[in-house]
Structure 1
């Protein structure tokens, strides 16, 4: 794959993958704790909406790199660290409390597999762009 084609493929993957946190974040912000099974309280609802806002912002932060992804290595590393930390917390919960529903397992795979792979790919694109200069 040519470097130009690889950049376009990367942009497409990040753009599509960004739908997960943006969509999930918007859903949580708009629905609150009512989006999940069980009774909710004002405290739980507030916490769900706050964390959903963070999720939304993470997705938007990834999207803001799409113009020139090779320039945003530090941002990719920071966002990946944040996402992996959340994934590890989710994994801990799955071990302690049992597996969550399938949509949350999908999120776990995004957090612990896809996002680190995207970060690695961004580094590869940045190194390739640096060699061209």
Structure 2
């Protein structure tokens, strides 16, 4: 039985589609955080916490939009993609420190941790592989 042969263009399209779908997480989560603030966490009302939560949510929204902006030309925007994926991973390691110090968070936060420490680096590696050209 012959193996599945995927052309370079098909693989590029699969990567772009996967990145676009993955971007829904930071864009959606960031937008919800900006709109609803810390009330999403249901931990009472603290103005400083709410302000900080909305600020960080805005950064998350910006990161998602920034990653999305690389889709048209993966080679041209490789530095932007690398920087943003690296920022996502740094955030994931910061979240992992919280797990070590305070224990496991809710399932939605565990999902975010997987996106930050597994999905983002894998997408970066895949983007790098696709950008090197046809095999």
Aligned partners of 2:18 and 2:73: how far apart in 1?
Answer: 14
Runs (4+) of structure 1 exceeding 2 A deviation are none
For structure 1, the 5+ residue unaligned runs are none
For structure 2, the 5+ residue unaligned runs are 1-5
Corresponding residue for 2:15? Answer: 10
Q: How many residues align?
A: 130
- Correspondence for 1:98 among 77, 81, 103: 103
8 Å CA contact 2:70–2:78 kept in 1: the answer is no
Q: Which moved more, 1:32-41 or 1:12-21?
A: 32-41
Corresponding residue for 1:68? Answer: 73
8 Å CA contact 1:70–1:125 kept in 2: the answer is no
Cα RMSD (Å): 1.2
TM-score (norm 1): 0.94
- Correspondence for 1:84 among 81, 86, 89: 89
Give the secondary-structure state (helix, strand or coil) at the position aligned to 1:70.
coil
Q: Which moved more, 1:19-28 or 1:66-75?
A: 66-75
Structure with greater helix percent: 1
8 Å CA contact 2:30–2:59 kept in 1: the answer is yes
Corresponding residue for 2:48? Answer: 43
